[in-house]
């Protein structure tokens, strides 16, 4: 009887482990979606902190302006997600570089990215793609998306600090 119980437990453990890869992919997508939504909300808070009059502000002449930083981080999302659908990226651009239009554009870009990521399958996340940055798995593309956004949002926070504005508290 004890050996039958042990066999039963081992069978359950093996079945659970066999299903782990597909389950793990589903969890990866859920985690990315959670953090992409947090990133959207946090990025919009940072973008909203800069006064309208300073959206053209640059730390140094060769750098992007604050508005351009916000626009760039939003535009690149389309490019980083394009390999999943084999589409040519069409990120669009804000109606203008004023604060209101940039905020609308950033929100729309994030919402579009969230929608695209929500439709990814485990096979797409595991697959290897060719991108402008070389060969990457779907997971690497998603990580790149998050990292690129963080990089440019952090740059934008330096613009805020240069204007004497303390950036909103970091959110993860």
Task: Give tens-digit pLDDT for 48-62.
Answer: 999 999 999 999 999
111 contacts 119 by C-beta, under 8 angstroms:
no
Confidence of residue 137 (pLDDT cuts 50, 70, 90): very high
Question: How many whole angstroms separate alpha carbon 20 and alpha carbon 26?
Answer: 10
Phi, psi of 137 (to 5 degrees): -75, 165
pTM for the whole structure: 0.84
Residues 73 and 157: beta-carbon distance below 8 Å: no
Q: What share of the chain is helix, strand, coil (3-state, %, to 5)?
A: 70, 5, 25
- Domain residues of the chain, as ranges? 24-162
CA–CA gap between residue 141 and residue 97 (Å, rounded): 28
In the prediction, which pLDDT does 15 show? 46
For domain 24-162, which architecture applies? Up-down Bundle (1.20)
Residue 92 CA to residue 78 CA, distance in Å, equals 9
């Amino acid at each position: 009887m004890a050996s039958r119980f042990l066999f039963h437990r081992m069978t359950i453990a093996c079945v659970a482990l066999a299903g782990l890869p597909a389950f793990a992919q589903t969890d990866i997508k859920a985690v990315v979606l959670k953090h992409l939504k947090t990133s959207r909300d946090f990025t919009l808070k940072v973008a909203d902190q800069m006064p309208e009059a300073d959206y053209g502000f640059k730390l140094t002449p060769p750098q992007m302006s604050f508005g351009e930083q916000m626009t760039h981080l939003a535009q690149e999302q389309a490019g980083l997600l394009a390999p999943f659908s084999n589409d040519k990226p069409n990120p669009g651009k804000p109606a203008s570089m004023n604060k209101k239009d940039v905020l609308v554009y950033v929100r729309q870009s994030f919402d579009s990215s969230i929608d695209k990521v929500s439709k990814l399958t485990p096979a797409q996340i595991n697959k290897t793609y060719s991108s402008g940055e070389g060969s990457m798995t779907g997971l690497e593309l998603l990580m790149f998306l998050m990292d690129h956004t963080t990089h440019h949002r952090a740059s934008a926070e330096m613009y805020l600090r240069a204007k004497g504005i303390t950036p909103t508290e970091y959110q993860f």
